[in-house]
Amino acid sequence: MLLYTKELVAPRPRPGLLRFRNKPPGIKFRERLRSSFANSSIHGMQHVFGEKHLWQRCLWLAIVLGAVITGFSLYTVLMHRHSEQLLVSLIETTQLPVYHIDFPAVAVCPWSHFNWQRAPSALLRFLPRHPNAELRETFRQLLASLDIMNFSNFNRIRILTKRNLTGISYLKLSDLMNYMTYRCDELFVADSCVFDETPYDCCKLFVREQTVKGQCLVFNSMISENSRKKHLTNQFYPYKLSTAGEESGLKFTINASYSFMNNIDALTPFGMNLMIKEPHQWSNEILYHLYPDTENFVAVHPMVTETSPNTYEMSPKRRRCYFDNEKNPTFQNTSLTYNRENCLVVCLHLVVWKTCHCSLPAFLPPIDGVPECGINDAQCLGYNSDIFSYVKMGDQEKYINDSRQGHFCDCPDNCNSRQYEMSLNVRKLDYPKNSTDRLIKAQVYYGQRVMTKIVTKLKYTSVDLLANFGGIISLYIGASVISFIEFLFVLGKLMWVFIKDARAKLKGNTK
């Protein structure tokens, strides 16, 4: 056996542990990057770092980048749709029972406002003692003008400006009109009112209330103080109704007595305006005419419109409607619930105030601290009647060449509202022989027991955006929330290794 004493014996190292040379930091970082993504659940990344050939890794890298770019490009399209905040209206149901809403308010407004049988007592009540013939004639012409006054014929009251008004300039017109207007027992035939197949005293169902048509007798309203008192004492007021069809709703009979009218210079025959409105609504522009010797059947078809709470994030200007808890800066009346019709009458009253520096509480919601229009304001009211009788909306002057003056009102819809579609059928009354009655009969009822409900909502919400984003990302790169968490975790580990290597290198250089 041969012994090699030198060739196979390694030199003895210095005392202590052997040191192995560290791999370069760049190699260590690339290996960690490859091992992390090669074993991850992110689709395609294991091929990018796990394939043996370079061209395969480059191919898979191009596929992954293309899928990511395509997915996020589609996401930008979704973001654009979401930022547009488009609204869509859908029919939620056509079978909503009518008992979910209050029965509409029914207003009966005489064409001529006054009962002229009280004219002699009004002369004694409102004029000084022993008025001369000229003052009595001026007072009579004042009553004749107020009898048919509304916002379309204020010019009639301008006739009074030609007379000497000194003797009646102190009169408060609202007090005079309240005294002369019809009482409930003067219009309704006793025991003729029926609601929900239950007889009622007409004067307990109908209360006096101001509207744009003057003082009317209104059923099921919440505008006047007397109506609000009824709501406090009766938990079922405003009334609801669950049935439909003739004989099921409100029935009443009016005594069409011509003895109440002005027989000297009457320009308006006896008749009634029938107004159907919401209980919290001041007035409605849609009116039906009730003529003597007729029986009228009014079928009401309500429709409920609601706006989804997911539109709260939109501004009212973009949404074009106001919720009940939102304040329209142009709606300066706090006693009325906001809706478009109430906003219009408040706007009209503000126009009257700014134009003639007075208010008309006999027709419009009162304005605190503003004096009431008197006889001396008749010329201003008559001269500007074309302004008061016509409403211009929004930017219509950009598209319509309208020579009328009118007034502008910014009154968007209320987000939760009710609309009434009505149909009127009229037939002539047949009286018994030798009868001297002149009557107007009317019925107001639901046409159907169910109604349509329309809901307006955002077409794309934040939830829809998130769901669509998840679908796109899953389709193109097969990712999920866990995948993103895993991706962030891998990046965190790599950053930590990079920082450690950088610190070790810096420490080695300082030594």
Given its phi and psi angles, is residue 481 left (phi above 0), alpha (psi -120 to 50 degrees) or beta? Answer: alpha
Contacts of 187 (CB under 8 A, 6+ apart): 108, 110, 217, 254, 255
**Which SS3 state, helix, strand or coil, does residue 151 take?**
coil
With bands split at pLDDT 50, 70 and 90, how would you rate the model's confidence at 53?
confident
Burial class for 59, CB neighbours closer than 10 Å (0-12, 13-18, 19+)? middle
Tokens describing residue 98 = 């009518």
Mean pLDDT of 111-126: 89
Higher pLDDT, 72 or 334: 72
Lowest mean pLDDT segment, chosen from 13-27, 116-130, 352-366: 13-27
In the prediction, which pLDDT does 152 show?
66
Q: Is residue 323 part of a domain?
A: no
Tell me what percent of the residues of the chain surpass a pLDDT of 90. Answer: 25
With bands split at pLDDT 50, 70 and 90, how would you rate the model's confidence at 504?
confident
With bands split at pLDDT 50, 70 and 90, how would you rate the model's confidence at 462?
confident
CA distance 109 to 208: 10
- Nearest CA to 325 out of 342, 312, 344, 341 is that of 312
Q: Is residue 356 part of a domain?
A: no
In the prediction, which pLDDT does 377 show?
84
- Inform me whether the pLDDT recorded for 505 exceeds 80: no
Q: Are strands 193-195 and 198-200 parallel, antiparallel or unpaired?
A: antiparallel
- CA–CA distances in Å: residue 116 to residues 177, 212, 265, 266, 390: 12, 21, 12, 11, 31
Supply φ then ψ for residue 275, to 5 degrees.
-115, 125
With bands split at pLDDT 50, 70 and 90, how would you rate the model's confidence at 274?
very high
Q: Is residue 248 part of a domain?
A: no
Domain of 30?
25-85+463-505
pLDDT tens digits, residue range 407-420? 888 888 888 888 89
Mean pLDDT of 451-469: 81
- Inform me whether the pLDDT recorded for 400 exceeds 90: no
In the prediction, which pLDDT does 155 show?
67
In the prediction, which pLDDT does 40 show?
62
pLDDT tens digits, residue range 175-222? 898 999 999 988 999 889 999 999 999 999 999 999 988 889 999 999
Q: Is residue 145 part of a domain?
A: no
Q: Is residue 428 part of a domain?
A: no
- Inform me whether the pLDDT recorded for 12 exceeds 80: no
pLDDT tens digits, residue range 306-344? 998 888 878 888 888 888 777 777 787 777 888 888 888
CA distance 131 to 127: 7
pLDDT tens digits, residue range 355-384? 999 998 888 888 888 888 888 887 888 888
Contacts of 417 (CB under 8 A, 6+ apart): 304, 305, 339, 340
- Cα dihedral 284, 287, 290, 296, rounded to 10, equals -90
Q: Is residue 78 part of a domain?
A: yes
**Which SS3 state, helix, strand or coil, does residue 293 take?**
coil
Mean pLDDT of 415-437: 86
Tokens describing residue 206 = 């109908």
In the prediction, which pLDDT does 249 show?
93
CA 208, 218, 111, 146 torsion: positive or negative?
Answer: positive
Q: Is residue 39 part of a domain?
A: yes
Mean pLDDT of 224-248: 89
- Inform me whether the pLDDT recorded for 11 exceeds 70: no
Number of domains in the chain: 1
CA distance 267 to 488: 86
Mean pLDDT of 61-90: 79
In the prediction, which pLDDT does 417 show?
87
Lowest mean pLDDT segment, chosen from 300-304, 310-314, 474-478: 474-478
CA distance 27 to 495: 15
Q: Is residue 65 part of a domain?
A: yes
Q: What does 2-29 look like in DSSP terms, one character per residue?
A: ---SSTT-PPPPPSS---PPPPPHHHHH
